[in-house]
């Protein structure tokens, strides 16, 4: 199956998309995609071309993506929060000569700063799904085009240098949608898409998977607590895919009645702190099924099954994925011990766009090396210990910030916490804790240190503590540790 064929999974008269005042059936979805497809073909888009999408969540986004890939072209979703320079980099790197956008972009100047004189045609994404009777129907895909062909290039956040484009095939994405079947979505379910569609987690879990099941996708263009709570209540949302920051806000602001229709809540994108998970479950009586994945894996690798979730775990590996935990020498670690999590299966990316060395390194030995440290329990449930690159080495001892953060979250008054490594003349590295407080709260750092000393080895306790108004986050809800460290060092150097 191809990704664009998902629009035929639902009954023609069943609702496929609810987008504010628009209520679109599967039949109408097919018509809008066909109209967009004809417009793109008339504009010169052909098999293998890269076509960028720069837009907030909308039905138009779904039409555009499906139309692009139905022509055998490759979709390139772009984070709408990026600067002109960052957008231009992705356009140049991917070689996109067309961009479907919800607002005009000044690309000429931005591209020229990158010494690139590409001509990029901009199309108003809101007009593309409207039928133009003067255009002939675009031809079907050639028989040589198969599911292994590239479907999308997902650009990773680029925390270590320029962003890399993970190339996912039609097979990768369909396989992952099928692997999600353990979550039990049915045609009669209403699934909320509030996470950004440019992000792999939001797109696969709250768009592709529901369409695969013939279900209804309710679209919000962004997360605002009041509107999200209202839509969950009014549209009787059953399935909710969110990140921890949204989870925390819903717990604070929603009533149990607001959330009464929920049957499934999945958290992903970044690690869910235990305290946030427990508070949500205590208030609403709904288990949170935490999952884990990466753009390179389409993205889902593990998922807590709704019938048996384990708090603190990101669940077992989903069907069809092989996995191992290895040490620095590439050998499997003994049972119960932590090691780098490596995986392989039909959901694993084809590689990084135009980066053969990075591809070879990431997929060495036929396995995707995630860069995450994990351990597994006796039932095969995975626990992410930390990112390899976030690990702090102090006096030769490994410190995993997540372990320390989990404890800090339990201390009364703490709203957010991040532990990062800073240079230390004596130890090589030491931990620094950056935190924010609940409204009206205050804490005694000496008491916090005592609490940590009672629960942690002394070498794991942060050397410094810094209160912030709020912790910066990435567009996908992760606490932006590198930005925290940059801001901290800049302030320190300015003194």
Question: What pLDDT, on the 0 to 100 scale, is given for residue 157?
Answer: 62
Any long-range contacts for 246-252 (C-beta under 8 Å, 24+ apart)?
Answer: 246/194, 246/477, 247/272, 247/276, 247/277, 247/280, 247/288, 248/276, 248/279, 248/280, 249/225, 250/225, 250/280, 251/276, 251/279, 251/280, 251/283, 251/284
- Beta-ladder partners of 470: none
> Rounded distance, CA 424 to CA 405, Å?
20
> Rounded distance, CA 96 to CA 223, Å?
29
Question: Please, are residues 264 and 238 in contact by the beta-carbon 8 Å criterion?
Answer: yes
* Residues 284-304, mean pLDDT to the nearest whole number: 95
> Rounded distance, CA 167 to CA 297, Å?
10
* Residues 411-439, mean pLDDT to the nearest whole number: 91
Q: Of 52, 59, 51, 419, nearest to 218 (Cα)? A: 59
Question: Does the 391-494 domain belong in CATH 3.40.50.720?
Answer: no
**CATH class entry, domain 3-376:** alpha beta
The b-or-e profile of 142-167 (16+ CB within 10 A means b, else e) is eeeeebebbbbbbbbbeeeeebbbbb
User: pLDDT tens-digit profile of 202-236?
Assistant: 999 999 999 999 999 999 999 999 999 999 999 99
Q: Of 151, 10, 131, 5, nearest to 72 (Cα)? A: 151
User: pLDDT tens-digit profile of 350-376?
Assistant: 999 999 999 999 999 999 999 999 999
Mean pLDDT of the chain: 93
Any long-range contacts for 16-22 (C-beta under 8 Å, 24+ apart)?
Answer: 16/211, 16/216, 16/217, 17/59, 17/62, 17/216, 17/217, 17/218, 17/219, 18/190, 18/216, 18/217, 18/218, 18/219, 18/235, 19/58, 19/59, 19/219, 20/219, 22/59
Flag whether pLDDT at 190 surpasses 80: yes
Residue 149: partners with Cβ closer than 8 Å, 6 or more residues away: 72, 169, 170
* Residues 138-158, mean pLDDT to the nearest whole number: 92
Flag whether pLDDT at 163 surpasses 90: no
* Residues 238-263, mean pLDDT to the nearest whole number: 94
Band (101; pLDDT cuts 50, 70, 90)? very high
Question: What pLDDT, on the 0 to 100 scale, is given for residue 160?
Answer: 43
> Rounded distance, CA 364 to CA 349, Å?
13
Band (328; pLDDT cuts 50, 70, 90)? confident
- Between CA 379 and CA 367, with CA 397 as vertex, the angle to 5 degrees is 45
Residue 466: partners with Cβ closer than 8 Å, 6 or more residues away: 432, 433, 434, 435, 488
* Residues 262-271, mean pLDDT to the nearest whole number: 89
Flag whether pLDDT at 273 surpasses 90: no
Q: Of 336, 331, 322, nearest to 375 (Cα)? A: 336
Question: What pLDDT, on the 0 to 100 scale, is given for residue 159?
Answer: 41
* Residues 392-408, mean pLDDT to the nearest whole number: 83
* Three-state SS at 169: strand
Question: Please, are residues 383 and 311 in contact by the beta-carbon 8 Å criterion?
Answer: no
Flag whether pLDDT at 54 surpasses 80: yes
* Residues 334-363, mean pLDDT to the nearest whole number: 96
- Beta-ladder partners of 292: 302
Would you tell me how many other CB atoms lie within 10 Å of the CB of residue 457?
A: 10
Question: Please, are residues 206 and 215 in contact by the beta-carbon 8 Å criterion?
Answer: no
Question: What pLDDT, on the 0 to 100 scale, is given for residue 161?
Answer: 56
User: pLDDT tens-digit profile of 38-50?
Assistant: 999 999 999 999 9
- The pLDDT > 70 percentage for the chain reads 98
Band (243; pLDDT cuts 50, 70, 90)? confident
Question: What pLDDT, on the 0 to 100 scale, is given for residue 109?
Answer: 86
Band (113; pLDDT cuts 50, 70, 90)? confident
* Three-state SS at 241: strand
Question: Please, are residues 70 and 76 in contact by the beta-carbon 8 Å criterion?
Answer: no
Would you tell me how many other CB atoms lie within 10 Å of the CB of residue 53?
A: 25
The two domains 3-376 and 391-494 share their CATH topology (first three levels equal):
no
Which sequence spans correspond to the domains of the chain?
3-376, 391-494
> Rounded distance, CA 456 to CA 467, Å?
21
């Amino acid at each position: 199956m191809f990704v664009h064929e998902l629009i035929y999974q639902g009954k023609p008269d069943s609702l496929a998309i609810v987008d504010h005042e628009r209520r679109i059936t599967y039949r109408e979805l097919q018509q809008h995609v066909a109209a967009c497809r004809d417009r793109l073909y008339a504009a010169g888009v052909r098999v293998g071309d890269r076509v960028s999408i720069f837009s907030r969540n909308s039905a138009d986004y779904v039409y555009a993506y499906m139309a692009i890939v139905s022509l055998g072209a490759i979709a390139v979703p772009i984070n709408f929060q990026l600067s002109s320079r960052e957008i231009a980099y992705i356009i140049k790197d991917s070689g996109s000569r067309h961009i479907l956008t919800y607002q005009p972009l000044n690309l000429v100047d931005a591209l020229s700063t990158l010494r690139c004189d590409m001509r990029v045609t901009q199309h108003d994404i809101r007009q593309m799904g409207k039928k133009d009777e003067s255009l002939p129907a675009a031809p079907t895909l050639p028989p040589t085009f198969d599911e292994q062909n590239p479907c999308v290039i997902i650009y990773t956040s680029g925390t270590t240098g320029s962003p890399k484009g993970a190339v996912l095939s039609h097979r990768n994405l369909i396989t992952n949608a099928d692997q999600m079947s353990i979550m039990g979505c049915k045609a009669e379910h209403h699934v909320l898409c509030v996470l950004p569609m440019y992000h792999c987690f939001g797109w696969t879990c709250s768009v592709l998977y529901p369409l695969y099941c013939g279900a209804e996708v309710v679209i919000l263009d962004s997360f605002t607590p009041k509107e999200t709570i209202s839509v969950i209540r009014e549209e009787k949302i059953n399935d909710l895919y969110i990140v921890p920051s949204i989870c925390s806000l819903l717990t604070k602001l929603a009533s149990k009645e607001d959330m009464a229709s929920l049957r499934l809540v999945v958290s992903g994108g970044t690690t869910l702190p235990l305290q946030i998970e427990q508070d949500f479950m205590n208030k609403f009586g709904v288990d949170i099924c935490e999952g884990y994945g990466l753009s390179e894996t389409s993205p889902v690798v593990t998922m807590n099954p709704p019938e048996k979730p384990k708090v603190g775990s990101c669940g077992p590996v989903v069907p069809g994925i092989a996995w191992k935990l290895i040490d620095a020498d590439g050998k499997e670690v003994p049972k119960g011990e932590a090691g780098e999590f490596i995986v392989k299966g039909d959901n694993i990316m084809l590689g990084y766009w135009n980066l053969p060395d990075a591809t070879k390194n990431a997929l060495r030995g036929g396995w995707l090396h995630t860069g995450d440290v994990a351990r597994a329990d006796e039932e095969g449930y995975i626990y992410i210990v930390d990112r390899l690159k976030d690990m702090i080495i102090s006096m030769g001892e490994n410190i995993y910030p997540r372990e320390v953060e989990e404890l800090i979250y339990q201390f009364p008054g703490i709203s957010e916490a991040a532990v990062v490594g800073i240079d230390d003349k004596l130890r090589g590295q030491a931990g620094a804790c950056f935190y924010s407080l609940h409204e009206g709260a205050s804490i005694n750092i000496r008491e916090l240190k005592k609490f940590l000393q009672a629960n942690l080895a002394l070498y794991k306790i942060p050397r410094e503590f810094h209160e912030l108004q709020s912790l910066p986050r990435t567009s996908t809800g992760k606490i932006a540790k590198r930005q925290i460290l940059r801001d901290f060092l800049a302030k320190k150097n300015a003194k």
